[in-house]
Amino acid sequence: MSRSYRTLAVALAVILVLVGLAKLVGRDSSAAQASTGSGLDAGSSTADTTGATADEGAAPTDSVGAVTDIVDGDAATTSSTAPPVTADCTITVVLKVGATGDEVHCLESQLTAAGYATTVDTTFDAATDSAVRAYQTASSLEVDGIVGRQTAQAMGIWAGPLGPMPATNDDCPSSTHGAIIDRANQRGALCNDGVITYEFPLTSAWSQPDPGTYPVYAKDLNASSNLTGKYSTMTHFVAFTKGKYQGARIAFHSVPKYSDGSYVQPLDSVGTEAYHGESSGCLRVLPDDAIRIWDWLSIGDEVRVIS
């Protein structure tokens, strides 16, 4: 082989080696980028080595890392017009198993007329409870056997208060430790075995979370947000459902703080109607209450949203 051919062969070999090294470096760089969590899309959350993210359903109970939640969005509700009374009789109080009187008779009459079989008398018994639950199921209401304002309005028999009705023990979820969220009154409560043991103010969104019962599925000690357009941090993040607009986590957490240490809203405004809707889905609570809720609720405990 002539010298020129030998030189060309050596040059080609060197080029092939360099190309192979470049591919290897590129592969290592991509792996390193993935391991550091960079390149996440806009709907993702960042986290440290604890691995907790907004879209996971099992964040560590004792997580010490910080997560960043996406903003879910919200929609203001402006209509306060109650459905009309369409029946010949009405009820004015919440009815459940054990109730007696003319208002129970009214309820049972309407259930029977709508095709839900029960004895029409003046006693709310097991048969009435079954009929109420069947009606609630068919009407896409929360199925709890309790005839409060929502169920009675759907039946056209509610003549009680149109304003928010405070939570009672009947609103406690079934888990031993539980919580209640009352968006209408900007209040929350902790329950122990079906009894309210502690009540606290909160700031919520207008339109979510929807009424229903949800299990706690994630807890993160530290989290952050860009909801207000500025970076803020919060603590004691207890997630129990996800938003209906973007799928962001919905959780109890402390009132967020900006980088300069100031709160995103005055602490004495928590629970006031003036700040109702300032949240975009989560439930902002006072710092001490955030700690109390964190200590009280474990993964699997239930949170009931009543309004």
Q: Could you tell me if 104 and 230 lie in one domain? A: no
CB 171 within 8 A of CB 121: no
In eight-state DSSP terms, residue 70 is P
> Taking the CA of residue 98 as centre, how many other CA atoms within 13 Å lie in the half-sphere pointing to its CB?
3
Q: Could you tell me if 180 and 300 lie in one domain? A: yes
Q: Could you tell me if 194 and 72 lie in one domain? A: yes
Residue 61, pLDDT score: 36
Range of the domain at 98: 81-161
pLDDT, average across residues 74-95: 73
Residue 184, pLDDT score: 85
* In-domain check, residue 34: no
Higher pLDDT, residue 201 or 7 = 201
Q: How confident is the model at residue 13 (pLDDT cuts 50, 70, 90)?
A: low
* In-domain check, residue 28: no
Q: Could you tell me if 101 and 197 lie in one domain? A: no
pTM assigned to the model: 0.61
- Does residue 294 have a pLDDT over 50? yes
Which CATH number is 223's domain given?
Answer: 2.40.440.10
* In-domain check, residue 71: yes
Tokens of 65: 């890392």
Closest CA to 56 of 214, 213, 224, 218: 218
* In-domain check, residue 232: yes
Distance CA 288, CA 37 (A): 32
Closest CA to 201 of 269, 138, 270: 270
* In-domain check, residue 107: yes
C-alpha distance across the termini of the chain, in Å: 89
Number of separate domains in the chain: 2
Q: Could you tell me if 149 and 189 lie in one domain? A: no
Q: Could you tell me if 134 and 74 lie in one domain? A: no
Q: Could you tell me if 88 and 139 lie in one domain? A: yes
Domain boundary among the residues 138, 161, 184 is at 161
pLDDT digits (tens, 9 = 90+) for 25-68: 444 443 333 333 222 222 223 333 233 333 222 233 334 445 65
pLDDT, average across residues 101-106: 95
pLDDT digits (tens, 9 = 90+) for 163-192: 677 888 989 999 999 999 999 889 999 999
Domain boundary among the residues 129, 161, 193 is at 161
Which CATH number is 147's domain given?
Answer: 1.10.101.10
- Does residue 194 have a pLDDT over 80? yes
